[in-house]
Structure 1
Amino acid sequence: MSESKDTLKSHLDELKCHFTWGLQEKDADIEELEERLNYQLEYLNVDSKGRVYNLLAYVNHLKNNNTEAIVNLQKSEGILWDSKVLETDIKYLLTFSNYAWVHYYLNDSESSKLYIEKINAIYTQSKGIEDLVQSETNGEQGWALVNFCSQYYEKAKDCFEEALKANPDDPEWNTGLATVVYRMEDFRGRDWPGFKSFSFQLLQRAVKLNPKDSVIKVLFALKLQQLKKQEEAIKYIKDALELTPDLPYVLRYAAKFYRRAGMFEPAIHVLKKALNITPTSGFLHHQLGLCYRRMLIQRERLRRVYGDYRGQDTQAIKNLTERTIFHFEMTLEVKKSFLHAHFDLAEMYIRSYQHKKAEETYKKAIELTTTPEYEKQQVHLHYGTFLENCKKSEDEAVKHYKEGLRIPDQNKHRQECEASLRRIASEKLERNPSDASGLALLGFISKENQDYLNAMKWYEKALSDDTSNDEYLSALFDLKLMLTK
């Protein structure tokens, strides 16, 4: 690399854009992300499209299509032109920075330098409002992280909080912060160690600052529903549906609201309407599957209480089971990285005694490369439970419970992995108090909980019964090393 190119690269590394924000291809399903962004371009308002075109340009780059990336950046720039935004406005920083990087990868150093000059001109023009420039770049980074994948939500939250320090009333950054905190609460729920209902106040403020944003209204309605404020929640659902009756994002969250309220028919009606608009939406198929599953559970409960009149319940249960499985299967056909849909489908296969298909589904979940660490615990717990209870393979189950315990995130899934291992160890030791595998399991649990002295004690007891076991000897050696450090 020439000295000139070295210098250019160092300037590029200082830019604030998708190429410098650590968006890793391995963390996202790129094909699914591209499809999702194209849907957003079709249905979101024009103000959000420039941001989407920029992220789509970065996705094009990841797919080695820098020519198409330029086309999408031109579309983003065109939106600013149409809005009569001056070229020296800070709104151009993101697009110009991405332009500079894409031209660099196209080996067009001159064009890359030209955009760096334009960026420098914006910074020169922005003397005295440096805080607002920083707010702009932090806010845009927050949206990029939110839209890329769920693993980046924590970082996105930090970015929006930084953006709001200099510009506390900015509607976009308030909406971004409320959205990402709501998703973190909703995805992790009470498994999230720091769980509190922070998003209520954030959503309330975002709705106030964005009275015409139907998506933030429907998220606020879902939060109100969680907080048992049903009447107020329904008001916001109705407002959102009146504002944008055909917006898929509003329809799908409204359906989620109806499903949670036990209003399955309205939920299914709204979901089918949304599915006609976006037929390849994994989220919509998943929500339909959840509706049919809830209806199935209710029907099974009624049959247990009142019996089966002329086989009607049996046929209804069969139909609901088939519909549920169909929609969960469709979910994974269009969104292979949807982890919780794997759990839901596997559970339905188990209900219908299709154990081979259930195991295949769990294996696919294990093989996903985009799963965050805290969710990998859940995969190992679910698969381990299946192996123990359905396949009657305790040894295989233990392997997965151990993998779940090895992940240090403290949540209920880790606790359940530990409880399963303790139960299995206890059962072994009840049958034989000197059972080496039972004693070693207790040693493993103590070791993973950083109780190294107790771990050594258990492994030493295990070795007294199984003196040449390489696994126990290795564990004991590692523990002694840890204690001497």
Structure 2
Amino acid sequence: MSKSADDHQIKDSLEQLRCHFTWELQIEDNEMPDLENRAWDQIEFLDSKQNVGMHNLLAYVKHLKGQNEEALESLTEAEDLIQRGQTDQADVNSLVTWGNFAWVYYHMGKLTEAQTYLDKVENTCKKFTSLFRYRMECPEVDSKEGWALLKCGGQNYERAKACFEKALVVDPDNPEFSAGYAITMYRLDNFRLVSKGHKTLSLQPLEQALKLNPENVYIKVLLALKLQDLGRTAEGERYIEEGLDSTSSQAYVLRFAAKFYRKKGSLDTALQLLKKALEATPSSAPLHHQIGLCYRAQIIQIKEATSMRPRGQDREKIDRFRHSAIFHFESAVEFKPTFEIAYVHLAKMYVEAGNYRKAEDTYHKVLRMKPVVEETMQNIHFSYGQFQEFQKKSEADAMIHYLKAIQIKRASIIWDKSIYSLKKLAFRKLQRNESDLESLSLLGFAHKMKGNLNEALEYYEKALRLAVDWENSVGQDP
């Protein structure tokens, strides 16, 4: 058989595998450095059985970067971990790693080595009487796919959820599957913030995951944050304290504990924890973002305490906090160039510093992005609308972006604020010109979006009458 025929046959076999090369992971080029950092952080600081998966993910990213030799090194690390782990499940746990080995060797043109790993997969499939030659339908592989999807960003979360659900159908009391499902639901909950508060879809999965593995401090601190969201702060704080007392996964515990205390208003405690975590993971974009949020909250506290007129030492503190916030927000977007909400917070802090040019540049950069979460784009348009209204004094541009935020039909606090802001500007224009057709139409639209159909109809009819009167008057001109 010719080499081209061998190549074609092996390629057909490779496409049947279940591994990172066939899971259609959505990873943008500018996301890779942050993804690598997070994978290494998890390997080093999170006490987890997912390190095999992290080495596999690193191998896939290195391949995408054209670093196939380094990819093989990561896969060798993964295989060594498997051999040192559960020997009775070693074959099943190796399926994904072997699949990735086969793909990397294929891309290197080493067809013999690729076939060797295909044979390993085939033999395991035969051993476990799989219906397929090069793939096994089993919860262990479903879970591994779920963890890979979960690590690769929000655009993959729904698929990750489906993988963990599929695994749990077969083994509902498996701590690893339960933890993966709970973490996925927690992240999806954070995508679904609505005007009436946080949804609670992740509460029961988090409680179940902690029940199956009471020593999982990562789940423990996520449960604490969810309880805080639901107004059960004292109950959540007990879990935070337990997590901080543990020696396990401290870098992650510190980060989430800091978030808990920031939301509670204990900013000094939050900053202390974040800076300690940053010593271990200095290139963590989420940590820099959280630190920036703490400094921003301290600025707000001082302004409120001084009735928005800080002087002397308060003024100096604000200047110092503003400088620190900008530094950490800039660091966050440097380490993670797709961190959309961090760009919004950075732009707002540039506004706070009076640097409108940098704020404008930052807004333009984030407006060109395509966030996975629709509410994030709502937030971007609303924030830019505020900038146009209050700093650039452009009512027209402000209304355009309030309108764009409203047209993203996702009920949220920002959606409500955008409608209010659009109505306010439309009323202001009507006070100057009661025959302003655009303002009447926008008010009709705003009421329609809120479900106030009678008010919407009233404004639309008034706009229509004015339009007809205008056409009649033009038609009568000589």
Q: Which interval holds the TM-score relative to the shorter structure?
A: 0.7 to 0.9
Counterpart residue number, 2:21: 19
1:245–1:104 distance in 2 versus 1, CA, 3 Å: closer
**CA deviation digits over 1:247-266, x for unaligned, max 9?**
21111111112222222222
Segments of 5+ residues of structure 1 without an aligned counterpart are 468-485
CA contact (8 A) 1:439 1:461 kept: no
| Counterpart secondary structure, 2:50 | helix
Counterpart residue number, 1:314: 315
Counterpart residue number, 1:177: 181
- Cα deviation for residue 349 of structure 1 reads 2.4
1:282–1:421 distance in 2 versus 1, CA, 3 Å: same
- Cα deviation for residue 442 of structure 1 reads 7.1
Counterpart residue number, 1:148: 152
Larger mean CA deviation between 440-449 and 138-147 belongs to 440-449
Counterpart residue number, 1:386: 387
1:189 and 2:190 are equivalent in the alignment: no
CA distance in 1, matches of 2:403, 2:305: 39
1:18–1:436 distance in 2 versus 1, CA, 3 Å: same
CA distance in 2, matches of 1:9, 1:368: 35
Larger mean CA deviation between 163-172 and 421-430 belongs to 421-430
CA contact (8 A) 1:27 1:151 kept: no
- Cα deviation for residue 456 of structure 1 reads 11
1:158 and 2:158 are equivalent in the alignment: no
**CA deviation digits over 1:32-57, x for unaligned, max 9?**
11121122222233622111001111
TM-score (norm. length: structure 2): 0.84
CA contact (8 A) 1:255 1:271 kept: yes
Counterpart residue number, 1:397: 398
| Counterpart residue identity of residue 368, structure 1 | M
Counterpart residue number, 1:324: 325
- In the TM superposition, 1:34-53 aligns within 5 A as 34-45=36-47, 47-53=49-55
| Counterpart secondary structure, 1:168 | coil
Counterpart residue number, 1:134: 138
Counterpart residue number, 1:203: 206
- In the TM superposition, 1:68-79 aligns within 5 A as 68-79=70-81
CA contact (8 A) 1:440 1:462 kept: no
- In the TM superposition, 1:191-340 aligns within 5 A as 196-244=199-247, 247-304=250-307, 311-340=312-341
Counterpart residue number, 1:473: none
CA distance in 2, matches of 1:375, 1:269: 29
- Cα deviation for residue 421 of structure 1 reads 4.5
**Higher RCO (Cα < 8 Å, 6 or more apart):** 2
CA distance in 2, matches of 1:324, 1:46: 32
1:165–1:217 distance in 2 versus 1, CA, 3 Å: same
Counterpart residue number, 2:172: 168
Counterpart residue number, 2:359: 358
1:267–1:418 distance in 2 versus 1, CA, 3 Å: closer
TM-score (norm. length: structure 1): 0.83
Segments of 5+ residues of structure 2 without an aligned counterpart are 472-478
The aligned length equals 463
**CA deviation digits over 1:430-484, x for unaligned, max 9?**
54455454467579889999x9xx99999988987999xxxxxxxxxxxxxxxxx
1:228–1:39 distance in 2 versus 1, CA, 3 Å: same
**Identity among equivalent pairs (%):** 38
| Counterpart residue identity of residue 306, structure 2 | R
Counterpart residue number, 1:81: 83
1:448–1:337 distance in 2 versus 1, CA, 3 Å: same
| Counterpart secondary structure, 2:283 | coil
1:375 and 2:379 are equivalent in the alignment: no
What RMSD in Å do the two structures reach over aligned CA positions? 3.6
| Counterpart residue identity of residue 338, structure 1 | F
- In the TM superposition, 1:117-128 aligns within 5 A as 117-127=119-129
CA distance in 1, matches of 2:340, 2:294: 18
CA distance in 1, matches of 2:150, 2:333: 22
CA contact (8 A) 1:241 1:250 kept: yes
| Counterpart residue identity of residue 77, structure 1 | E
CA distance in 1, matches of 2:8, 2:445: 50
CA distance in 1, matches of 2:446, 2:115: 57
- Cα deviation for residue 388 of structure 1 reads 2.2
| Counterpart secondary structure, 2:300 | helix
| Counterpart residue identity of residue 368, structure 2 | E
CA distance in 1, matches of 2:433, 2:220: 60
